[in-house]
Homo-oligomer: A and B are copies of this chain.
């Protein structure tokens, strides 16, 4: 369990980000380092002015899925951003924005929520990943 878990987040819908946050928190609770690399629409969801917004669900969720997710929220379920904040407090979680996606979306580091620790390229991502698992979400 010494090698890090490396999550490449591509999708920016609330259901996939919640799944990613739970995987991050679970690994952090087990003492495993986690590197998160934000691309495309996932990066967009981490904009400081949008992170608390509704980011929708995967199209397949349908109306039943939407209602189920809304009911959990109303019952006080932590958002994915809050789950990630708690995971970072456990330590070992590093969240980096992909530099190419920063260019695509015309973002500056100051546009991002403080959850994001920095900006890096794909080469740096691989070097930090070492021999650990790479998971694309």
Contacts and interface: CB of A to CB of B under 8 A. Distances in A.
Given A26-B126, A68-B104, A135-B134, A41 B61 contact: yes
Contacts of A90: none
A48 interface: no
Interface string A1-31: 1010100101111011001001101110110
Say how many copies of this protein the assembly contains.
3
| Interface size class of chain A, counting residues whose CB lies under 8 Å from the partner chain | 35 or more
Contact of A68 (B5, B23, B106): B106
Nearest to A103: B72
13 contacts: A1-B131, A3-B131, A8-B19, A10-B16, A10-B137, A12-B60, A26-B126, A30-B127, A55-B60, A68-B105, A69-B104, A133-B133, A134-B135
Given A8-B23, A134-B135, 16 more contacts: A5-B134, A8-B19, A10-B15, A10-B16, A11-B58, A19-B39, A22-B100, A26-B126, A30-B126, A41-B58, A41-B60, A68-B104, A68-B106, A69-B104, A133-B134, A135-B135
